[in-house]
Structure 1
Amino acid sequence: MLTRINPARLFLKGAVAALAALGLNACVETGPTISASQPVPVALLVPSGSAASGDKVIAQSLENAARLAMADLQGVQIDLRVYDTEGNADAAQRAAVRAADDGAKIILGPLHGEAANAAGKAVAGRGINLLSFSNNTTIAGGNVFVLGATFENTADRLVDFAARQGRRNILVVHANTVSGQLGRNAIVSAINRSSARHVGTVAYEFSQEGVINAVGEIKAAAEQGQADTIFLTSDTSGALPLLSQMLPEAGISSPTVQYVGLTRWDIPSQTLALPGVQGGWFARPDAALTQQFQTRYAQAYGGLPHALGGLAYDGIAAIGALVKSGRSTALTTSALTQGAGFQGVNGIFRLRANGTNERGLAVVSIRDKQVVTIDPAPTSFGGFGF
């Protein structure tokens, strides 16, 4: 049974942060014993004190969301202890050690991949699992789990849906950046696990000139591979606006070719007005659940949460659901990776044995400048997943 807790510029130069990769570490059983009848010490590592723009807002949103989740728990007491990481690996490592010394049974956070990796290593020998807010799957494995939405999860969902719609000849288009290459890897791996075919890949230099120069190559590759689907890794702050304009102008348009995006095409909302994205597909969490969380958060704290805030709620929800079982082994790796998963603020999710996660996503399309759900997010993991 599923465990539940109630709840532009046309082109922006610059590299996108690395989000996901393949080649993950195997999961090793670890985790302390707890007394479920007593408040469970949980450490929350947030990027307070960071010099990076926006980290202060994220830190507050993460803490607020965690406390909101605690208020929703029934019959479970969490002793939440908050530690600052200053947004860097060294401080995160020190905070993790301090949390362990203070008796933490599990660590929630930190945000950045490098910091999470350092913190996880610092407490691995002490049998403490860490649920990071990062989506960088290169750090996942052992005692480190990532809660953030991953390229792999999104690619699997969209490739599977495309194949079921008869869209099986997929051309991958990506920026020649770390993020673009990781996105490409995720899509190609998803294709290889499906009934679809990988009919080609086109990379472009991450500049306006690079995108323009790649249009002819993309068209040729699509024609040669008889592509009926073009999967783009670009986002709305990068090449998406330019690609979505120039590719249809070059004659690559629907219904012959279906455009699919690895990133959210509804953020910012102005993107929905672009002619080239009309009819495109992408994946996102259940919108009704997201709205419900935002409303509750606003009522409690007087403003909207940061987009990453829900990850802290999800972490507390999972911890609380497991502790409620009453088992002393509730926070071991085998318990954290139980197949039924958990209900979070954005829908169902579960942690995988390799430290990554699987989230139930809806497939949506843009029609008349509005987002329309064409395949709802699953409400359980029965028959869904990989």
Structure 2
Amino acid sequence: MFSLLSTSRDFVGRFVALMSIFWLAACQPVSLSGGGSGQRIDPKAPVPVALLVPGGSENSMDQLLAKHLENAARLAIADLQGVNINLRVYNTAGNPSQAASVATQAVNDGAKIIIGPLYAEAANAVGRAVAGRNVNVLAFSNNAQIAGGNVFILGHTFQNTADRLVAYAKQQGRSKIMTVHARTNAGEVGRAAITGAIAKAGATYAGVGSYEFSQDGIINAVPGIASTIRSSGAQAVFFTSDTAGALPLLIQMLPEHHVDRNIVKFIGLTRWDIPAQTLALPGVQGSWFARPHPGMASKFNARYSTAFDTPPHAIASLSYDAIAAIGALVKSGNAGALTASGLTQGSGFVGASGIFRFHPDGTNQRGLAIAQIQNGQVVIVDPAPSSFGGAGF
């Protein structure tokens, strides 16, 4: 689609969801008496762990994702030292009712904790199904609305990314921040995350611009958005759109409508280096986005590729992270390692792409680097932290 962006009105192509494939409509988290304390274990014995993957569906992508999630989990188990994980894999077919059924079966089989499933609706169903059995769930979803009680989410959240980027923008003297988003459910979720991050950082909300999620809707909205940027005195504009959606058109048209890039910094809530062709777009030069620790992510990708003769899917690292966290907790020798208090210990864990930790509300915090696009290349301008309490925290 990038070859079609030589002029503003040449924008065509498929729009995709702003959130990752495992984000769905809002669900209700499970509340457990005692805050979802979780199962106690014998850390000297093999620990039964259930992995719920979307295998068994008619969707070929679900089959691929299931394989990559299982591969990454087994790679993580191979890396553990002094810990014995008894991993059992269950297929959900990407279906909430089947996910709930196999989760119940997994607990009956002795599982002390559940990893997965992938989709938010299925994860919510699993959390409810095993709530009465006092079993915690580490879901692959990034939908914060299903987190809580016995459900902890592993996916990268908009809130975590927004918090990191807004804090960095303020440090760099760009505290007046405006948001531009689509009038969609996902766009509103992104806007809310940025608004919350601005308040948390003590920055200034400079205003908001929105657009109907269509080609004509974007083209018609840009003059008004550009006018608001200029009149608000915004020092940065935060976009919720990704590069497969409205972003290329927005970043091309706004400078055409007198938004001075020497005054206003563009910031992305999504990865602007994916796909790589995005880096060549004139409108992204000088912009910021957040990404996982580059060195650790590259190392994981290389190890996975060597072990399985194929590059990992982007979500495979989440499965590795879940096993890494469980392994670290079990290795501590604490019988309460997999309870909520164990999972939310403040120092966090080291995963495939850097440090991360779970919050008591079931959401997560991940250490992210700040990247700037310069001359078509990604340059890290603020590295990912190596521990909690460091940069960005």
TM bucket, shorter chain: over 0.9
Matched ranges for 1:232-247 at <5 A: 232-247=239-254
Q: Is this contact kept in 2: 1:11–1:238, CA < 8 A?
A: no
Aligned to 1:307, what secondary structure does the other structure show?
Answer: coil
Matched ranges for 1:281-300 at <5 A: 281-300=288-307
Matched ranges for 1:172-183 at <5 A: 172-183=179-190
- Counterpart-to-counterpart distance in 1, 2:271 and 2:66: 23
Shift of 1:237: 0.7
Determine the structure 2 residue equivalent to 1:279. 286
Q: Give RMSD over aligned pairs.
A: 1.7
Q: Is this contact kept in 2: 1:13–1:206, CA < 8 A?
A: no
Q: What TM-score comes out, normalization by structure 1 length?
A: 0.95
Q: Is this contact kept in 1: 2:301–2:312, CA < 8 A?
A: yes
Determine the structure 2 residue equivalent to 1:51. 58
Gaps of 5+ in 2: 3-10
Which stretch has the larger CA shift, 52-61 or 62-71?
52-61
- Counterpart-to-counterpart distance in 2, 1:189 and 1:52: 36
Q: Is this contact kept in 2: 1:135–1:147, CA < 8 A?
A: yes
- Counterpart-to-counterpart distance in 1, 2:296 and 2:373: 20
Question: Which of residues 83, 89, 95 in structure 2 aligns to 1:82?
Answer: 89
Deviations 1:289-326 (A, max 9, x none): 11100111111111111000000000000000000011
* Higher RCO (Cα < 8 Å, 6 or more apart): 1
Q: Is this contact kept in 2: 1:363–1:373, CA < 8 A?
A: yes
1:322 matched to 2:323? The reply is: no
Aligned to 1:83, what secondary structure does the other structure show?
Answer: strand
Which stretch has the larger CA shift, 45-54 or 13-22?
13-22
Deviations 1:322-368 (A, max 9, x none): 00011111100000000000000100000000000000000001111
Shift of 1:14: 4.3
Shift of 1:196: 1.1
Aligned to 1:260, what secondary structure does the other structure show?
Answer: strand
Q: Go from structure 1 to structure 2 and tell me whether the alpha carbon gap of 1:17 and 1:369 turns closer, same or farther (over 3 Å shift).
A: closer
Question: Which of residues 202, 216, 221 in structure 2 aligns to 1:195?
Answer: 202
Deviations 1:100-156 (A, max 9, x none): 110000000000000000011100110000000010111000000000000000000
1:129 matched to 2:136? The reply is: yes
Determine the structure 2 residue equivalent to 1:250. 257
Amino acid at match of 1:46: V
Q: What TM-score comes out, normalization by structure 2 length?
A: 0.93
- Counterpart-to-counterpart distance in 2, 1:84 and 1:141: 24
Q: Is this contact kept in 1: 2:52–2:114, CA < 8 A?
A: yes
Aligned to 2:100, what secondary structure does the other structure show?
Answer: helix
Q: Is this contact kept in 1: 2:51–2:115, CA < 8 A?
A: yes
- Counterpart-to-counterpart distance in 2, 1:107 and 1:188: 33
Shift of 1:254: 1.7
- Counterpart-to-counterpart distance in 1, 2:285 and 2:179: 19
Which stretch has the larger CA shift, 13-22 or 329-338?
13-22
- Counterpart-to-counterpart distance in 2, 1:358 and 1:284: 13
Question: Which of residues 12, 35, 41 in structure 1 aligns to 2:42?
Answer: 35
Question: Which of residues 308, 317, 320 in structure 2 aligns to 1:313?
Answer: 320
Which stretch has the larger CA shift, 249-258 or 139-148?
249-258
1:62 matched to 2:80? The reply is: no
- Counterpart-to-counterpart distance in 2, 1:17 and 1:152: 13
Aligned to 1:199, what secondary structure does the other structure show?
Answer: strand
Aligned to 1:45, what secondary structure does the other structure show?
Answer: strand
Shift of 1:194: 1.1
Gaps of 5+ in 1: 1-7
- Counterpart-to-counterpart distance in 2, 1:15 and 1:304: 23
Q: Go from structure 1 to structure 2 and tell me whether the alpha carbon gap of 1:241 and 1:14 turns closer, same or farther (over 3 Å shift).
A: closer
- Counterpart-to-counterpart distance in 1, 2:86 and 2:56: 23
- Counterpart-to-counterpart distance in 2, 1:29 and 1:335: 11
Aligned to 2:90, what secondary structure does the other structure show?
Answer: strand
Q: Go from structure 1 to structure 2 and tell me whether the alpha carbon gap of 1:311 and 1:367 turns closer, same or farther (over 3 Å shift).
A: same
1:268 matched to 2:275? The reply is: yes
Determine the structure 1 residue equivalent to 2:17. 16
Shift of 1:12: 3.5
Which stretch has the larger CA shift, 363-372 or 29-38?
29-38
Shift of 1:29: 4.0
Shift of 1:173: 0.3
Determine the structure 2 residue equivalent to 1:331. 338
- Counterpart-to-counterpart distance in 1, 2:50 and 2:178: 44
Determine the structure 1 residue equivalent to 2:122. 115
- Counterpart-to-counterpart distance in 2, 1:201 and 1:320: 44
Q: Go from structure 1 to structure 2 and tell me whether the alpha carbon gap of 1:81 and 1:22 turns closer, same or farther (over 3 Å shift).
A: closer
Question: Which of residues 214, 217, 242 in structure 2 aligns to 1:210?
Answer: 217
Determine the structure 1 residue equivalent to 2:154. 147
Deviations 1:238-292 (A, max 9, x none): 0011011111111213220000000000111111111111111000001111110
Amino acid at match of 1:203: S
Shift of 1:11: 4.2
- Counterpart-to-counterpart distance in 2, 1:231 and 1:189: 13
Q: Go from structure 1 to structure 2 and tell me whether the alpha carbon gap of 1:54 and 1:283 turns closer, same or farther (over 3 Å shift).
A: same
Amino acid at match of 1:109: G
Aligned to 1:193, what secondary structure does the other structure show?
Answer: helix
1:164 matched to 2:147? The reply is: no
Shift of 1:195: 2.4
Q: Is this contact kept in 1: 2:148–2:362, CA < 8 A?
A: yes
**Identity across matched positions, percent:** 56
Q: Is this contact kept in 2: 1:45–1:85, CA < 8 A?
A: yes
Amino acid at match of 1:272: L
Deviations 1:179-227 (A, max 9, x none): 1000000000100111210011111000011111111111111122111
Aligned to 2:179, what secondary structure does the other structure show?
Answer: strand
